[in-house]
A and B are shown apart, each in its own frame.
Chain A
Amino acid sequence: MTSATLLCRESPARAPATGPFALPPELAASAPAEARGLRRDEVRMMVARGVLVDAPCRAIEHRRFGELPRVLGPGDLLVVNTSATLPASLDARGPGPAGRESEELRLHVSTALPMADLWSVELRLPAGPASRPYGGGEPGWRLTLAGGAAAELLAPLAGSRRLWVARIELPPGASLAEHLAAHGQPIRYPYVSDAWPIEAYQTVFADEPGSAEMPSAGRAFTADVVARLVARGVEIAPVTLHTGVSSLEAGESPYAEWFRVPFDTARRVNSVRRSGGRVIAVGTTVVRSLESAADRTGDVHPAEGWTSLLVTPQRGVRAVDGLLTGWHEPQSTHLAMLEAVGGAELVQRSYREALEQRYLWHEFGDLHLILPRAAAGGAGELER
């Protein structure tokens, strides 16, 4: 089942950044693993690692996610996001362009804005179970929402072409989370084939509702995988980051998101780093959280608040040694983060190989484990 390729190159340093690539539409996962006859932990996982520190050899292995406990070992700390997904997409009726009938829209509630009872939202057009981009919207538009609620567009969100700052008016006594639970559905993009229920968008770690979209790198974890990781001596620690909508266009910078790194997680990250172990982020949201809470020396401090941090190869990573993540859109800002963790060459090779090996993209797709350096104790060395 497991195949491995050992790749040695003369000058990895000169490799260009992960450039534009075309994603064939059939490589977008349209259905969750369960609907494809697999367990969640049976999705594929590419393990991409640097075999020797500072050597130009890179190894790519193709595995199933359920093999993760054999890839990691004592000394490794997985940090997971415990944010639960909200059914953040609401039916909305907008006034429509001047002089026309009102039109059916969808309102995607993205993130709460700091220090104001305001939300960033995205207007979309309904498209079957999903939605597609919508170019309209004017400041002052009032949208009628399901369940007697309303939203008023105040202004475009700074730096965004499609997101708005909005005030959401709810029936008396209702909270937004309750309103969404009663009237919302999961945010879905056109590559999904069906109206998958909100349960398909929750991870086993989901604890605190607040994400517009699933922190999907954690989706493949099952209770059984967690138990086998713990039995293997792999540590697991939580952070929370409530994700906003991911529908950014190329060139848009990610906006601020709320996150929390608990005291005990900060302590464990620091202890693992001091003892030479690896801190492996489960998802780009965890990289953003930990790096936002890290000082210049890489020590992580308990932290809570909004972060606008953009992790790029120039900025680098201070606290994170590895990353488990899904497969990202061409030219997304996430690719810069991946290169910050794994280096441009390893990430670029991974993507080339993923296209060749027909990995599946997006939240229901396959996974990518980037481990640029070996564990201190030699745990998880490439099995030959």
Chain B
Amino acid sequence: MPVGIVTGASKGLGRELARSLADDGWSLVIDARGAEALEEARSDLAARAGGAAVVAVQGDVASADHRVALVEAASTLASTLGGLDLLVNNASELGPSPLPALADHPLDELERVYRVNVLAPLALAQLALPLLRARRGRIVNVSSDAAVEAYEGWGGYGSSKAALEQLTAVMAAEERDVRVYAVDPGDMRTAMHQAAFPGEDISDRKPPEAAVPGLRRLIDGDEPSGRYRADDLAPVEATP
């Protein structure tokens, strides 16, 4: 029975990806900061068809203790149910809403963005790598087109994702037995995307589940380590 860690799994893309994995019998360790939404996600996932074990650990990926608890739970599941095959670093911090120009970006908030989007994924990878190497597992770091494009207001978040992508690329070069991916899921109708455009209508964006087939191709397929766009992996028409 495959075992995976998905951070930020109580809503949006993380929730949809976790659903798809649970349907296929993956056992999961999930986290989120909000206890109520997390429990709601856990009971939904545990009831799905795959009969998976789902452990929810409430907390913030920026906390070292929380990260240890996540990997310990995954290690316990893995040692008895199979092995750890997957780490999805999906939990992300957008920064202030509305998005400020770099000239005005509060540095303490930028520090928080970097802690969540850069240091936490690396720290989780460091903890999980011994387990992942043993299973020739995979790390999927959820990135953004803001990592490579220069959108006004997206300098804080975008530069953090650029750093995450470079960590991904270098780790991919260093790890022989683990595939390391960065994936741009595309614009989605999520709470985070709404926070980036407060008050605007984002209903033209595709729903988060549209990006899941692309991510699943990285998880189940044979793609080499690298950066991918979910749309290129599994093109999906945006729903009107």
Q: Which residues of chain B in 60-99 are interfacial with respect to chain A, using CB atoms and an 8 Å cutoff? A: 73, 76-77, 79-82
Question: Across the interface, do A205 and B53 meet the contact criterion of CB distance under 8 Å?
Answer: no
CB distance from A84 to the nearest CB of B (A): 12
Known contacts A223-B51, A223-B53, A224-B46: A230-B76 contact under CB 8 Å: yes
Are the C-beta atoms of A226 and B80 separated by less than 8 Å? yes
Query: Helix, strand, loop or mixed for chain B's interface?
Result: mixed
Q: Given A223-B53, A231-B55, A237–B46 Cβ distance below 8 Å?
A: no
User: Given the complex of chains A and B, what is the CA–CA distance between A82 and B82 in angstroms?
Assistant: 10
Task: Determine which of B77, B79, B82 lies in contact with A227 in the assembled complex, contact meaning CB atoms within 8 Å.
Answer: B77
**Chain B positions within 8 Å of A236 at CB level:** 76, 79-80
Which of A222, A224, A231, A238 meets B80, CB within 8 Å? A238
Contacts of A235 in B (CB 8 A): 76
The 0/1 profile, CB within 8 Å of B marked 1, for residues 73-101 of chain A is 00000001010000000000000000000
Nearest-neighbour CB distance to chain B for A75, whole angstroms, equals: 14
A230 touching B77, Cβ below 8 Å: yes
A207 interface residue, CB < 8 Å from B?
yes
Is A6 close to B, CB under 8 A? no
**A204 interface residue per 8 A CB criterion:** yes
In the complex, how many angstroms separate the beta carbon of A156 from the nearest chain B beta carbon? 38
Partner of B79, one of A204, A222, A223, A238: A238
The A165-209 residues at the B interface (CB cut-off 8 A) are 204-205, 207
- Does the CB pair A227–B46 fall under 8 Å? yes
Asked whether B183 is an interface residue with its Cβ less than 8 Å from the other chain, the reply is no
- Given A223-B52, A227-B53: A264 in contact with B27 (beta carbons within 8 A): no
The A/B interface has a contact count, at CB < 8 Å, of 47
Interchain CB contact under 8 A, A82 and B80: yes
In the assembled complex, B1 has its CB within 8 A of some CB on chain A: yes
Q: Which of A223-258 contact B (CB under 8 A)?
A: 223-224, 226-227, 230-231, 235-238
Whether A237 lies near B79 (C-beta < 8 A) is yes
Q: How far is the CA of A205 from the CA of B82 in the complex (A)?
A: 8
Given the known inter-chain contacts A222-B51, A231-B55, please indicate yes or no for A237 contacting B77, CB distance below 8 A.
no
Query: Cβ of A227: which chain B residues have Cβ within 8 Å of it?
Result: 27, 46, 53-55, 77
For B55, B77, B79, the residue with the greatest tally of chain A CB atoms inside 10 Å of its CB is: B79
Residues of A within 8 A of B27 (CB): 223, 226-227
| B-side interface residues, number (CB < 8 Å) | 17
- A230/B79 in contact, CB under 8 A: no
| B58 CB to nearest A CB, Å | 10
Residue of B nearest to A265 (CB): B79
Once the chains bind, are B46 and A230 in contact (CB under 8 Å)?
Answer: no
Point out the residues of chain B lying under 8 angstroms from A222, CB to CB. Answer: 51
Could you say which residues of chain B place their CB within 8 Å of the CB of A80? 80
CB contacts (< 8 Å) of B52 on chain A: these are 223
Contacts of B46 in A (CB 8 A): 224, 227
B140 surroundings in chain A (CB, below 8 A): none
Closest CB-CB distance, A137 to chain B, in whole Å?
40
Q: How far is the CA of A378 from the CA of B27 in the complex (A)?
A: 30
A55 nearest CB across to chain B (Å): 33
The CA-CA distance from A237 to B72 in the complex, in Å, is 12
CB 8 Å contact bits of B16-29 with A (1 = contact, 0 = none) = 00000000000100
Task: Tell me the residues in window 132-147 of chain A with beta carbons closer than 8 Å to chain B beta carbons.
Answer: none
- A352-374 CB contact bits vs B (8 Å, 1 = yes)? 00000000000000000000000
Q: In the complex, which residue of chain A has the Cβ closest to the Cβ of B82? A: A207
Point out the residue from B1, B51, B73 that lies within 8 Å of A231, measured CB to CB: B73
When the two chains form their complex, are residues A204 and B55 in contact, meaning their CB atoms are under 8 A apart? no
Q: Which residues of A contact B51 (CB under 8 A)?
A: 222-224
Give every chain A residue within 8 A of B129 (Cβ-Cβ).
Answer: none
A238 / chain B contacts, CB cutoff of 8 Å: 79-80
A238–B76 Cα distance when bound, in Å, is 9
| Closest chain A residue, CB of each to CB of B46 | A224
Provide the bound-state CA to CA distance between A265 and B76, in Å. 11
| In the complex, chain A residues whose CB is within 8 Å of the CB of B57 | 231
The reply to whether the CB of B56 lies closer than 8 angstroms to some CB of chain A is: yes
Q: Whole-angstrom distance from the CB of A150 to the nearest CB of chain B?
A: 36
Q: List 27 interface pairs A-B (beta carbons < 8 Å), by A numbering.
A: A82-B80, A204-B1, A205-B80, A222-B51, A223-B1, A223-B53, A223-B81, A224-B46, A226-B77, A226-B80, A226-B81, A227-B46, A227-B53, A227-B77, A230-B55, A230-B73, A230-B76, A230-B77, A231-B56, A231-B57, A231-B73, A235-B76, A236-B76, A236-B79, A236-B80, A237-B79, A265-B79
Interface residues, chain B, with chain A CB atoms under 8 Å away: 1, 27, 46, 51-57, 73, 76-77, 79-82
**Nearest 7 pairs between A and B by C-beta?**
A223-B53, A227-B53, A230-B55, A236-B80, A226-B53, A227-B55, A230-B76
- In addition to A226-B53, A230-B77, 18 A-B residue pairs with Cβ atoms within 8 Å of each other are A82-B80, A205-B80, A223-B52, A223-B53, A224-B51, A226-B77, A226-B81, A230-B55, A230-B76, A231-B55, A231-B57, A231-B73, A235-B76, A236-B76, A236-B80, A238-B80, A264-B79, A265-B79
